[in-house]
Every structure is written in structure tokens, then in C-alpha cells.
A and B are shown apart, each in its own frame.
Chain A
């Protein structure tokens, strides 16, 4: 791997520029789709069909005053928004993005890909808890506590669901998992995929699990005190995480960039976009759950189901695939 190649990975694809482009895209996409379901138009006049709206939003936020509240811990308050997007972007190197990059393999092609992925995804809510903790605001702190509760209860089924393809194919290498996938195994893994997508909503704080930043209850949760650049960075981290987790779902369960007729990044993108569409549709039609209902749901339904799913995967491996 040459220096130029590395710089390209870091700065352009799948690094900074790609993630920025994704952020611009998904924010616009979510707003526009949501508006369509609301019977509205959504961003329309800024740029062709409103496509430049997010660009202006970001540039505005970057030039706003970045407030550090008097009672907040200034170091914690300002350092976490820098660390969070970095941590959120790390799993990018574990995912095979395109046949054109590194021979179709992930940039870091390791046999522990699944493990690295779930651990790096799982560490993110901790940082968001620290934002709530450092803000010294009651609502932020409550948001932080809620995020911890949600993380602990969501990640058990998340890990178990992510394990099911690894168990089926007998490898943790994401590239191999992706290439072992076919129509039959996708069907076998479907229950696992559904559990993965449900927990994904919880880990990404998407409705109906947007409990930590519940506007009507605790103002804006851990975001409450953040302004200007810090807020932009945190939002950037959030959207990067959405990308990473949906890409992980697609790679683990739906064959990554492989598609009909040809393999390309655009297949991956299409699958991620479909997942994003599902997320927006859920956001538009379902109210938020309560914290205790979420806990009950994850521990008494989701986690046992995820374990049962593992049993099913082993059964399928032995008797259907006959390996």
C-alpha cells in the first residue's frame, strides 16, 4: 500500500470526502422523504430541488458561535465531539466497499472483521454518554443515562445477530462472508437480519428507539448544549454511524457490493439506501417507545430470539447446507 493510496483512502474514498458526501446526501434524503410522507415538499428552493440545503446548513453551523456553557467541563465538552466522528469512521476500513478498491477486499483485511466491526460500533454510545455527562445540564445528563441503558440492552442482541453469518460460514472475515452469501443463505439468515435491523435502530437512536434525544421529553438529550461546530461534528458522527452500521448489515446479510449482472459500489449504495428508506418510513409512521418498554422488549424478546436464531443457524448449517 503506497502513501498515495493510503492518502486516497483516508481523504477521498472511503474516507473523509465520501463520508461528507454521504452526510450531505442522507440528511437531504431523510428530509425530503419525510416531507413527502408528511404531504409537504421539503427543501426546494436552495439549489436544484433543494439539494444544496445541507451544504448551506453545514457552512452556517461552522461559522456560528461555538458555545461552551459556563458550568460544563470545558475539556470533556469540547474534546468528545472531535473523538466521536473519528471513532464512528473507524469501522470504515473493515468493510469491503467496492471491487475497485484494494482488489475488492476491505482496506484492513483481517480474519476478525466481524469482531472489530461490532466492537467499534458498540463503543460509540459511550462517547455520546460522555457528551451528556460533560454538558452539566439535567436534560443532557438524562439523555446520557438513557443512551447507556439503551446501549447495554441493545448490544447483546446486536452482537448475537451479527454472529449468525459468522457461525453459518465459519469465518469472521467480512470479505469471505460476503462472497459466501447466496440466495439460500440470505433466506437462512433472514431472521438474524431482521433482529440486526431492529437493534440497529436502537443503536443509531432512530425511531421508535429515539429515546435518548426525545425532543418532547428531554429537549434534545445529549445534544442540548451543543452549538455550532461541535454540533456539526456530532451530527457528522451520527450520520457516519448510520452509514457504517447499514453497510455492516448489508455486508453481513445481503451480499455487500455483489449484485445482479455485475459487482459494483452502487449495489452496496442501493442496498444502504433501501435500508435508509425503511428507517425513514418507520420514523414517519411510529411513535416513540418508552424507556422501560424498550428495556422489556430487548431483554424479554429480542435477546432470547437472537439466541434462538443462533440455534436455527446451526441447525440450518448442519441439515440444510449439510456442511
Chain B
């Protein structure tokens, strides 16, 4: 199921503004890779280049290569829609579809990609909700609107929605930044379980979170406001937090941010 991602020489632009510059790294399958760094360093932009969501933004443009196993996502004949089916995404703020019930939300990815039989949908919905540790909380109200859930439940609903289409990779853009500590803990536990099945990349502002959930950590920084963000280093999480090889990383981690 899970695939390895090889990124080489990747730059992303908003119109004429370069947001990230020449990034190369490898993301291992069945592991959690965390992106940390100050605001505006381009880590979210970078994440969005991994499933071609960056180009949805007006003026969004990408140079470089992203290899999923051996296939370049930015090759000419690749369909961005197919890419997004393979590389799922969870957003900063929980965003269930307000017109749909809990069931329909989870089934949305399958249904919107074509028709599926009711029995198969039911099966996938249950499996995905169980996978997102939400089944027990919502199994009695699958037909209620998804917007009636708490913030943490909504975010897990969004995770269930993302994994229902069985992607290879799961991208998470600060998935806990809008949640309270208890909901955050539930999501972090969930991430630990999900990495058995998926390649997970998570952007986070919370360094303790990165330390808790990730296997590898990448640190991004920018020279000054208006300059493109750069990858400073990527290493095993333990090493990054105990003995990073670059001074800037140590400054950031030992600063008063975490």
C-alpha cells in the first residue's frame, strides 16, 4: 500500500514569487515524516506540491520532480486528479462537507469518483471510521450532519474520508492546530496506527508533537521575509531533537518556540 516519495530539485511559485527553493529529500514508506519550521517557511506549500494541490491556488506553479515509487507526479501525461486519489490530504481546519451526513462524508470520495454499490459503501465507511477511531462514537448517528460533531471528531471524520479512497500516502497540514489537547492526543494516537498502512507526512508548529509522532523530521527555514523557504536538514527525529547537525536547527528547537 504505502509508497516511497523521492523529491528532487523542487521549487514552487506563487505567480512570480518563489515560495520554496530547490528542495530534495526522500520520504520513507510506512513512517511518519514531520515538517517543522517558522511561519512562512514554505512547509505547507511544499506539502501541497506532493499531491499537486499547490497548482489549485491561482498562480501556483512547480518546478522539479516528485517520484512516487518510480513515477514522476509532474510528468506530462500524469493526471493531477489521479495523483490526488493516490496521495490523500487532511487540512488544518476540519472541513466536513456541510450538506452531507457523516456517512455521506466518508463515502464522498468513492461516490464522487463514480458509483458504488450500497453494500460496498457501507463496508468501506465502517472500515474507514474504525480506521479513524471514530466508529464507536458515531455508529448510531451516521445519518446526522457531519458538522454536528465536535472539532476533534470532525477532524477524525476528515481523516476517515481521506483514507476511505485508500490512498498510498496521507498528507496532514497542521491537523491539530485547531483542536484542544485531548482531541490532539486522539489524533496523535491515530497517526501512530495509520503509519502501519500509509506513508504519512505531517506539517506541525508544535515541536513536541513532531517529537512524539514522527520517525523523521525535516526542518525548513527562510533567510528573510520575502525570501523563498529552504530545507535546512532532514534526519531521524531523535537526532534532530538531540543532536542536530546544523546550528540553525538547534537554535530553532532550543528557542522558546516549543
A and B are partners in one complex rather than unrelated chains: no
